[in-house]
Amino acid sequence: MAAKSIGNPGLSGKIDVRPVASLADQIEARSGDYLHHCLKTIPSAERHSIWSRLYAASQSLGQAVRENTVAETVLEIGSNLLGCEEIAILELHTDYRQISFLSSVGVTATHRHALLTHAERLSAEINRGQVRIVDKRVPGDEFLASLGITALVPLSQGHSAEGAIVFFNLLPQRQGFDSGDRELLGLLSVYVGPSLFGL
Amino acid sequence: MPPKILIVDDSNTTLLMEEMLLKKYTNFDVVLARDGQEAVRRALAEKPSLILMDVVMPKMGGFAACREMRRQEKLRDVPIIMVTSRGEPDYVETGFECGCNDYLTKPIDSNELIQMVNGYLAVEKAR
């Protein structure tokens, strides 16, 4: 299923591009801040790599908002900047009992089935509104871990939870999500919801 | 004139990151391509001193492009670094069999990339 289209058809039927430009401008301004921080940090510092990934992600996301390719770009960021090629972008139904797949890559039939079967409980987890890096040893993470989820990024528009980005297995070279990844997931949490559901 | 580096990737995100890092932290001029076919064309036209190339790309993948470049007299000795999310030993081995010189796995560590590229730049200068 395709992601929601961007742009609000007005009375004239034309697409109002102003919200798109405004959101893209915000994201690109953020990207400029990340670049500034990156250039002020020595390359051998761990933060340098984090800043440079945040810069690339936000710059790419800003362009994606203008080009209406946000869902594809989220999957690309997941693969290239997070090392995960098993990702689903979900939309919550208004009754919070069902979910739909807006876009996905590499998600197995087993994982897909698990998400659909446990949609109501998963919706409740998404409604907590917190970026989660899942650790099955941590109390409260058992349910998400049982679905094979390694990270959960809630997507909201205004105060309403609209969906989530769900990450499954990481590539073999990644041992797990780290603190830098958490910042990147946070960036996605802030901007992807309004990009997919608010325009 | 500064030496050129050709970055080949179908991921806009990766191109943005690598282009920024190489423009800011090396003395290379940056040329971009988005698939293996374009990479071979641009490499023949621009004669880069170094090529960074993804593996999985549309039209022509990185391994095929690497092999094709090694068949071309002009590109035979240009160092090629494969930059890819495919870090499994089989992939790495195939990369070297195709003629690449180095292998970097994604997610890219900025310092590792800068150091590796500057290492090749130093060799280029010493020639």
Judged by DSSP in three states, B121 sits in helix
Would you call B25 and A52 a contact, using CB atoms and an 8 Å cutoff?
A: no
CA B118 to chain centre: 13
- Residue A84 CA to residue B106 CA, distance in Å, equals 10
Burial tier of A2 (Cβ tally within 10 Å: 0-12, 13-18, 19+): exposed
A 25-64 → B contacts, CB under 8 A: 35, 38-39, 43-45, 48-49, 52-53, 55-57, 59-60, 63
- pLDDT given at position B126: 77
- Closest CA of chain A from B60, distance in Å: 19
A 130-159 → B contacts, CB under 8 A: none
Residue A137: give its domain's CATH number: 3.30.450.40
Q: Does residue A132 register a pLDDT over 80?
A: yes
pLDDT band at A141; cut points 50, 70, 90: very high
Q: Establish if A6 belongs to a structural domain.
A: no
pLDDT band at A4; cut points 50, 70, 90: very low
Backbone angles phi, psi at B75, to 5 degrees: -110, 0
Q: Establish if A113 belongs to a structural domain.
A: yes
Name the pairing type of β-strands A87-92 and A132-133: unpaired
**pLDDT digits 0-9 by tens, B91-114:** 899 999 999 999 999 999 999 999
The pair of structure tokens assigned to A85 is: 């090629």
- pLDDT given at position B125: 76
Q: Establish if A105 belongs to a structural domain.
A: yes
Q: Does residue A167 register a pLDDT over 60?
A: yes
**pLDDT digits 0-9 by tens, B7-27:** 999 999 999 999 999 999 998
Q: Does residue B86 register a pLDDT over 70?
A: yes
Would you call A80 and B21 a contact, using CB atoms and an 8 Å cutoff?
A: no
- pLDDT given at position A100: 96
Domain total of chain A: 1
Question: Closest Cα partner for A87 from A177, A8, A13, A194?
Answer: A177
User: Which of the following CATH numbers is that of domain B4-126: 3.30.70.120, 3.40.50.720, 3.40.50.2300, 2.30.110.10?
Assistant: 3.40.50.2300
Q: Establish if A141 belongs to a structural domain.
A: yes
- pLDDT given at position B1: 78
**pLDDT digits 0-9 by tens, A48-61:** 999 999 999 999 99
- pLDDT given at position B54: 96
**pLDDT digits 0-9 by tens, A63-115:** 999 999 999 999 999 999 999 999 999 999 988 889 999 999 999 999 999 99
ipTM of this complex: 0.92
Domain that holds residue A104: 83-174
Would you call A52 and B105 a contact, using CB atoms and an 8 Å cutoff?
A: no
Query: Which residue among B107, B111, B115 places its CB closest to the CB of A81?
Result: B107
